[in-house]
Chain A
Amino acid sequence: MSVTASTSSHASILSKIWEFLKISPLSTLLIYCLLSVMIRENYPFSNFPMYSNPSPERMYYALADGDGKVLPIATLTGITSPKIGKIYRKIVDERSRKLNINPSKFTPEQVEAIGLEILQQLRHEAETKKQTLPPKLQIIKTYISYKDGQIVETSNSIAKE
């Protein structure tokens, strides 16, 4: 008897939730959130992952000439500085899935090959904008952290022409 009553009560609650979802904007909100989380970065959908993992070490990439002098990337190529990191991560993601290996296991040679590919793309964009780039380019990766009350930055070149 109590089992029947409990089942009936559950059905009633579910029915009320269903009635609520039918008239409430929460149903479309739920569908939208699910789609965004599943589809991720496929325009017009996005899960908006900016600043989503505030780790104690951050990194950024810069375009430099052969001597390591930083170049104004947006002026020369139209591609802004944060986008180098995004392109890098996109290629790493595609390649790691293709090769079925963890991105952290990439060898320096594989990283350099990706860097050179990005430099090629930057040269193409500079050409489109009728801008002249130096004969040799490199991509500098810099880590930023906070230690003993100081901001610490360490840089190294990941790809050099």
Chain B
Amino acid sequence: MIRRLFSGWFQLPTVSPLEGFLSRLLFACVLVFTLRQGIQFTTEPHPVGLLKLLHSVDDHRSWLTWLSDPDNYAVFRWVFFALAVVYVSGYALPVVLPLMALLHILPFTLNNSQGYTHHGNQMVSLVLIMQACTVLYYALREKFSFLLPTAKLRSWLLVQSMVIVTGAYFVSVIAKMENSGGMWLWNSNNIALDMVKTQRQSYNNKLEEKYAGTPPEAKWMLDNPWTARAIFSSGVILEAICIIGIGNRTLAFIIGVSLIAMHRSIDRLMGGVAFPMNELMDFTFMLGLPFLAAWGIERIPRKAAQIGLVAGLIIGVPLSFFAQPERLQTLRPFTIYPLEIINSLGFWASQEWGKFFELMNPVFFVCLGSALLGAGIGWVAGKPSAQS
């Protein structure tokens, strides 16, 4: 039992080429999604990270504010998107990943240099950096290649991404214990006061009526401190033990689902404190959506049919534009349509399910049709080679 719990720390999981591809595809979508908003900041008043280093060279110069120019940011994004396409293809990873990692940290370093820290994108940048380090380490130790990643490298990339995802939660437990003098679990009932505070802050943002007043759950938890301790402590215990999910498919799935449920509960209780990036990373690397999808597709006996199905799925996305109502076609022209589909990941955070299904229903149906068509063509085309 104990050996099973920690088995992921001793052996690498097998990652098929298809899972590797789907994993890169989903992660690239998350990366593109993180860059959906422009940067508005024209100053660097409190430099952090890379900017702190650059400001130690010349403190009077603005190093990254060129990103706040919409034209510059548009070029920056398209360069990043082009690299993301190469990344998804799986070729030239030792060059593409370090470049993407460097580019990805720039806008968020500027964002966090305004005197406050936004905790939304660190996990995404760090997974990118870790993947870059992994391919470079592999290139130095095993083999330098611009070709598709080997089975060993695919496994390494998955496991090291899991290290960052679970490690980020684990680090937050260390911070909780350090900042509370080890009393976090005992004092955790006071988090109910944070629920009130967050509600007030949410109200003060835009003076929205839905955030006026005190959340009844917070008052109930303040009245019932032991229940509050049990609820909040369960989240921290989950954050502490999630590292046993590294490299273990079953545990990672269970922990991934639990982490997403935890984020949803926090969002509900705190009145709009969502961590959509964490959830998307949990979906990709813990819950293992790429693994589940690849496992299902690989049950199809003919390779050509598998390729046809995946190709059909991907081609279905731009094709679905023509199945959208005219109003949505005008709102989202064809040139930016695939990006808009990726940006619909934002509906997951805002839980605007009506808008989500209005946009995504045609995508689901067209992709399903084109995937079946692709699989059928592959099945027929692959038949002779399968028989020979």
Contact = CB atoms under 8 A, between A and B. Distances in A.
B45 A121 contact: yes
A28 B121 CA distance: 20
B323 interface: no
Interface residues on B, range: 35 or more
Interface in A42-68: 42-60, 62-63
B172 A25 contact: no
B321 interface: no
B172 A28 contact: no
B204 A81 contact: yes
A36 B167 contact: yes
B40 A128 contact: yes
A71 B42 CA distance: 23
A87 B207 contact: no
A127 B46 CA distance: 19
A82 interface: yes
Contact of B48 (A33, A43, A142): A43
B23 interface: no
A15 interface: no
A75 B205 contact: yes
Interface in B81-96: none
B164 A32 contact: yes
A83 B194 contact: no
B208 to A, nearest CB: 9
A52 B162 CA distance: 23
Interface string A11-55: 000000000100111101100110011000111111111111111
A54 B190 CA distance: 5
Contact of A70 (B121, B171, B207): B207
Contacts of A135: none
Contacts of B243: 26, 29
Given A33-B171, A49-B175, A151 B222 contact: yes
B174 interface: yes
A121 B112 CA distance: 15
Interface stretch (B122-130, B256-264, B280-288, B307-315): B122-130
B302 interface: no
A44 B52 CA distance: 12
Given A43-B109, A47-B174, A142-B200, A28 B117 contact: no
Contact of A43 (B10, B122, B222, B223): B122
A29 B193 contact: no
A72 B204 CA distance: 5
Which applies to chain B's interface (DSSP): helix, strand, loop or mixed?
Answer: helix
Interface centre among B49, B105, B111 (most CB of A within 10 A): B49
Interface stretch (B180-188, B329-337, B362-370, B375-383): B180-188
A15 to B, nearest CB: 17
Contacts of B223: 149
A12 to B, nearest CB: 19
A87 B119 contact: no
B100 interface: no
Given A23-B10, A74-B205, A149-B223, A43 B112 contact: yes
A56 B116 contact: no
A10 interface: no
A145 B201 contact: no
B3 to A, nearest CB: 14
Given A72-B206, A81-B205, A124 B43 contact: yes
Given A24-B9, A48-B119, A54 B191 contact: yes
B180 A54 contact: yes
A131 to B, nearest CB: 12
A94 B9 contact: no
A144 interface: yes
B207 to A, nearest CB: 5
B130 A74 contact: no
Contacts of A25: 8-9, 159-160, 162-163, 246-247
A146 B222 contact: yes
Contacts of B189: 54
B361 interface: no
B202 interface: yes
A149 B247 CA distance: 47
B60 to A, nearest CB: 18
Contact of A144 (B49, B109, B196, B219): B196
Q: Which 6 A-B pairs have the closest CB atoms?
A: A86-B116, A48-B172, A87-B115, A44-B125, A74-B205, A54-B190
Interface of A: 20, 23-26, 28-29, 32-33, 36-37, 41-60, 62-63, 70, 72-75, 78-83, 86-87, 90-91, 94, 121, 124-125, 128-129, 142, 144-146, 149, 151
